[in-house]
C-alpha cells in the first residue's frame, strides 16, 4: 500500500503528461517573447529611427549577460544547487522582469542617451538581455524536468513535443506580432507577449506544486541523486580536451548563428528585397518554425533507427548553404524564391538539431552531459549575440546614407506633430511608393553564406573525427 502511494505520481501517465503540457506551454511563452520584436524591424526603424547597428545591439542582447557575465553557467550551477522548483520559478520571474523593461522602453520612448546609446535602444537591449538569462535557464531547467519525469519512459518524445511547442511560440510571434502592431501600435504585441510570460510563470508555479508532491512521495531521491545532468566546474577540464566536443560546439555556434538571427533579419529582408508588406513581414519566415515542428521528430526518429548522425548534419549544412545563396542572389527576388528558400531552411533546420543534440551523449561521457550541454549553449550564445550585431553594422556600412534619408523624413514628419506610430506608417508608405530608399541586403547576406560554408566544413571534420574516435555517430541510437 505504502509502495503504491509512493510511486503514484511518477507512475501516473496522466501526471507525466500534465507536467509536459505545463512546461511546454511555459516554453511556448518564452520563445514567443524571444521573437516578438523580430518581425517588427521595418516598423521599429520607421517609427523610432533606429539604424541597423542599433537593431543589432537590441537583438544581439541575448548573449550580453549569458556570455559576458557567465549567467548561463551560473544558471546551470543554480539549477544544480537550488533545484528544479527554485530555478524554474526564478527563471520565470527573471523573464518577466526583462520583458517588462523591454516593454517600458517602447511605451515610455525615453529620450537622451545612456552610455552613448539612445536610451530606448539601451533599455530595450537591457530588458532583452535580462529576459534571455531567464529563457536560457528555463530551457536547461525544463530539460532536467523532462528527464526527471520521463526517464525510462517517453523521454525522446517528450523532448520533441516540448521543442515543437517552443517552435509554435516563435511562429505565433512571427505571424501575429506585425499584424497586432499594424492594427494597434508597436508596444501592444510586446505587452501581450509579456502578459503571456506571466501565464508561463503561473504554469511553472503549478508545476512546482506537482514537483514538491513528487519529491514528498520519495520517488525523486533516485532521480535527483542521478547527477549526470548537473553542471560541475570540475568537469570542464575533461570536456574541453575532447576534440569531438569542440567540433559539435562550434558546429552548434555556426549553425544556429545562421538560423536564429534569420528570425531577426529575415522579415526585414522580405520587405526590402521581396516587397512584402511590413504588416506581413513575419509570414514567410514564420513557416520555418512550423516546418521544423513537424519535421524534427521525423528526422529524430530516422536517426534513432537508421543512424547516420554525422551525415545528417553534413546534409543539413549543405541545405543551409543553398538557402542563404538563394536569399543572397540579387536576381532571385520574387516571393516564390523566398518561400522555396524557407522550405529548404525548414528541412535543414530540422535535420541538424535532430542529429546534433542526441549526438552529444555519444561524444561525451554521461557524467559530463549536464556540463557539456551548458557549455555548448554558452558557446552558441556567442554567435547569437555576435551575428545580429555584425549583420546590423555591415548593413549600415553597405547602405551609406539610407538611414540618414529615413531620419530626415522622420524628423520633418515629427515636426508636423505626428506620433511615432503615425510617423512609422507614413515612412512605410513612402518606402513602398519608392519615395524613400530600402536597404540592400545583398553583400550583408554573405555573412550567412560564410557561416553555413564554415558549418559544412566543421560537419565534415566531425564525421572524420567520428571515424577516428569511434563515437558511433553513424550508428542507430536504438539497438
Ligand atoms: C534546443 C535549442 N535551444 C537553444 O539552442 C537555446 N540555447 C537557444 C534558444 C534561442 C532561441 N532564439 C533549440 O531551440 O533548438
Nearest CA to ligand 1 atom 14: 163
CA–CA gap between residue 322 and residue 450 (Å, rounded): 12
Pocket test for ligand 1, best of 32, 67, 133, 139 (most atoms within 8 A of CB): 139
Please report the pLDDT score of residue 263 as a whole number. 95
Q: CB burial class (10 A; 0-12, 13-18, 19+) of residue 411?
A: exposed
Contact 473, 359 (CB under 8 A): yes
On whether the CB atoms of residues 245 and 363 are closer than 8 A, the answer is yes
Res 467: pLDDT:
95
Query: Which run of H or of E encompasses 117?
Result: strand 117-118
Higher pLDDT, 51 or 476: 51
Residue 419 belongs to a domain: no
Which pLDDT belongs to residue 304? 83
pLDDT for 390 equals: 97
- In tens, the pLDDT along 420-432 reads 888 888 998 898 8
The upper half-sphere exposure of residue 130, i.e. CA atoms within 13 Å in the direction of its Cβ, equals 18
Ligand 1 pocket test: pick from 75, 256, 289 the residue with the most ligand atoms within 8 Å of its Cβ.
256
User: 64: which DSSP letter?
Assistant: I
pLDDT of residue 230: 67
pLDDT digit string, tens, across residues 115-164: 999 999 999 999 999 999 999 999 989 988 988 888 777 777 788 889 88
Q: Is residue 430 part of a domain?
A: no
CA 436 – ligand 1 centroid, Å:
37
Task: Record the pTM.
Answer: 0.89
- Compare 319 and 71 and report the one with higher pLDDT: 319
Is 1's pLDDT higher than 50? no
Ligand 1 centre and the CA of 140: distance in Å? 10
Report yes or no on 249 lying in a domain: yes
Nearest CA, atom 8, ligand 1: 136
Residue 60 lies in a domain: yes
Atom 15 (ligand 1) nearest CA: 353
The pLDDT of residue 225: 46
What's the CATH number where 455 sits?
1.20.1250.20
Q: Given a cut of 70, is residue 228 above it in pLDDT? A: no
Q: Looking at ligand 1, which residue's alpha carbon is closest to its atom 4? A: 377
User: How confident is the model over 395-423, as a mean pLDDT?
Assistant: 89
pLDDT over 90, % of the chain: 63
Q: Phi first, then psi: what are they for 230, rounded to 5°? A: -80, 150
Residue nearest to atom 10 of ligand 1 (CA): 260
Q: Number of structural domains, the chain?
A: 1
- Tell how far the Cα of 129 is from the centroid of ligand 1, in angstroms: 15
pLDDT of residue 288: 92
Please tell me the distance between residue 343's alpha carbon and the centre of ligand 1 in angstroms: 20
Name the residue among 421, 469, 432, 9 with its Cα closest to residue 188.
421
Q: Report CA(31)–ligand 1 centroid distance (Å).
A: 9
Instruction: Compute the distance from residue 433 Cα to the ligand 1 centre, in Å.
Output: 38
Q: How far, in Å, is the centroid of ligand 1 from the Cα of 283?
A: 21
CA of 221 to the centre of ligand 1 (A): 29
Q: Whose CA is nearest to atom 3 of ligand 1?
A: 139
What range does the domain containing 381 cover? 2-399+439-469
Higher per-residue pLDDT: 305 or 338: 338
Domain membership of residue 424 (yes or no) is: no
Report whether pLDDT(39) > 70.
Answer: yes
CA angle 317, 386, 439 (to 5 degrees): 85
340: CA distance to ligand 1 center in Å? 24
Does any domain span residue 475?
no
Q: Which ligand 1 atom lies nearest to the CA of residue 357?
A: 1
Please give the pLDDT value at position 479: 62
The kind and range of the H/E element at 113 are strand 113-114
Ligand 1 site residues (CB inside 6 A) read 34, 136, 139, 256, 260, 353, 377, 380
Average pLDDT value for residue range 275-295 = 91
pLDDT at residue 5 in the model: 39
Instruction: Check pLDDT > 90 for residue 364.
Output: no
Give this complex's ipTM.
Answer: 0.95
Does residue 425 form part of some domain? no
Whether residue 426 is contained in a domain is answered as no
**Does 295 or 203 have the greater pLDDT score?**
203
Q: Please name the residues in contact with 223: beta carbons below 8 A apart, sequence gap of 6 or more.
A: 147, 148, 151
Closest Cα to atom 5, ligand 1: which residue? 377
- Mean pLDDT over all residues of the chain? 90
42-93 confidence digits (pLDDT tens): 999 989 989 999 999 999 999 999 988 888 888 888 887 888 999 999 999 9
- pLDDT given for residue 229 in this prediction: 60
Residues 348, 316 contacting (CB under 8 angstroms):
yes
Residue 118 pairs in a beta bridge with: 113
Query: Which atom of ligand 1 is nearest the CA belonging to 377?
Result: 7
Amino acid at each position: 500500500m505504502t509502495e503504491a502511494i509512493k510511486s503514484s505520481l511518477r507512475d501516473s501517465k496522466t501526471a507525466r503528461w500534465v507536467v509536459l503540457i505545463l512546461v511546454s506551454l511555459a516554453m511556448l511563452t518564452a520563445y514567443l517573447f524571444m521573437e516578438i520584436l523580430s518581425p517588427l524591424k521595418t516598423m521599429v526603424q520607421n517609427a523610432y529611427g533606429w539604424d541597423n547597428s542599433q537593431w543589432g545591439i537590441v537583438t544581439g542582447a541575448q548573449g550580453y549577460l549569458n556570455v559576458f557575465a557567465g549567467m548561463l553557467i551560473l544558471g546551470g550551477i543554480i539549477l544544480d544547487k537550488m533545484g528544479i522548483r527554485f530555478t524554474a520559478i526564478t527563471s520565470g520571474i527573471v523573464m518577466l522582469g526583462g520583458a517588462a523593461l523591454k516593454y517600458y522602453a517602447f511605451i515610455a520612448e525615453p529620450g537622451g542617451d545612456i552610455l552613448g546609446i539612445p536610451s530606448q535602444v539601451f533599455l530595450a537591449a537591457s530588458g532583452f538581455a535580462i529576459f534571455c538569462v531567464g529563457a536560457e535557464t528555463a530551457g536547461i531547467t525544463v530539460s532536467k524536468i523532462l528527464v526527471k519525469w520521463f526517464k525510462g519512459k517517453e523521454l525522446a518524445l517528450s523532448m520533441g513535443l516540448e521543442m515543437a511547442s517552443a517552435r509554435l511560440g516563435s511562429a505565433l510571434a512571427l505571424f501575429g506580432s506585425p499584424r497586432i502592431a499594424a492594427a494597434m501600435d508597436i508596444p501592444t504585441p510586446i505587452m501581450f507577449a509579456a502578459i503571456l510570460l506571466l501565464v508561463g510563470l503561473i504554469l511553472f508555479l503549478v508545476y512546482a506544486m506537482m514537483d514538491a508532491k513528487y519529491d514528498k512521495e520519495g520517488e525523486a531521491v533516485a532521480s535527483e541523486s542521478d547527477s549526470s545532468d548537473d553542471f560541475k566546474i570540475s568537469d570542464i577540464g575533461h570536456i574541453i580536451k575532447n576534440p569531438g566536443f569542440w567540433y559539435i560546439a562550434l558546429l552548434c555556434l555556426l549553425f544556429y548563428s545562421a538560423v536564429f538571427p534569420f528570425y531577426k533579419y529575415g522579415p526585414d529582408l522580405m520587405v526590402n528585397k521581396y516587397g512584402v508588406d511590413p504588416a506581413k513581414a513575419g509570414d514567410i519566415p514564420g513557416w520555418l518554425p512550423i516546418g521544423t515542428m513537424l519535421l524534427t521528430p521525423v528526422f529524430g526518429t530516422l536517426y534513432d533507427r537508421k543512424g547516420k548522425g554525422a551525415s545528417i548534419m553534413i546534409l543539413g549544412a549543405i541545405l543551409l548553404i543553398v538557402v542563404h545563396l538563394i536569399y543572397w542572389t540579387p536576381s532571385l527576388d520574387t516571393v516564390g524564391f523566398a518561400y522555396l528558400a524557407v522550405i529548404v531552411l525548414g528541412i535543414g533546420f530540422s535535420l541538424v538539431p535532430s542529429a546534433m543534440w542526441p549526438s552529444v551523449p555519444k561524444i561525451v561521457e554521461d557524467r559530463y552531459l549536464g556540463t557539456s550541454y551548458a557549455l555548448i549553449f554558452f558557446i552558441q550564445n556567442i554567435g547569437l549575440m555576435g551575428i545580429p550585431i555584425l549583420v546590423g553594422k555591415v548593413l549600415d556600412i553597405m547602405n551609406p546614407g539610407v538611414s540618414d534619408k529615413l531620419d530626415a523624413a522622420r524628423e520633418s514628419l515629427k515636426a508636423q506633430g505626428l506620433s511615432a506610430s503615425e510617423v512609422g506608417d507614413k515612412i512605410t508608405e513612402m518606402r513602398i511608393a519608392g519615395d524613400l530608399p530600402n536597404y540592400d541586403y545583398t553583400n550583408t547576406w554573405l555573412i550567412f553564406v560564410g557561416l553555413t560554408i564554415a558549418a559544412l566544413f566543421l560537419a565534415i571534420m566531425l564525421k572524420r573525427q567520428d571515424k577516428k574516435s569511434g563515437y558511433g555517430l553513424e550508428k542507430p541510437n536504438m539497438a
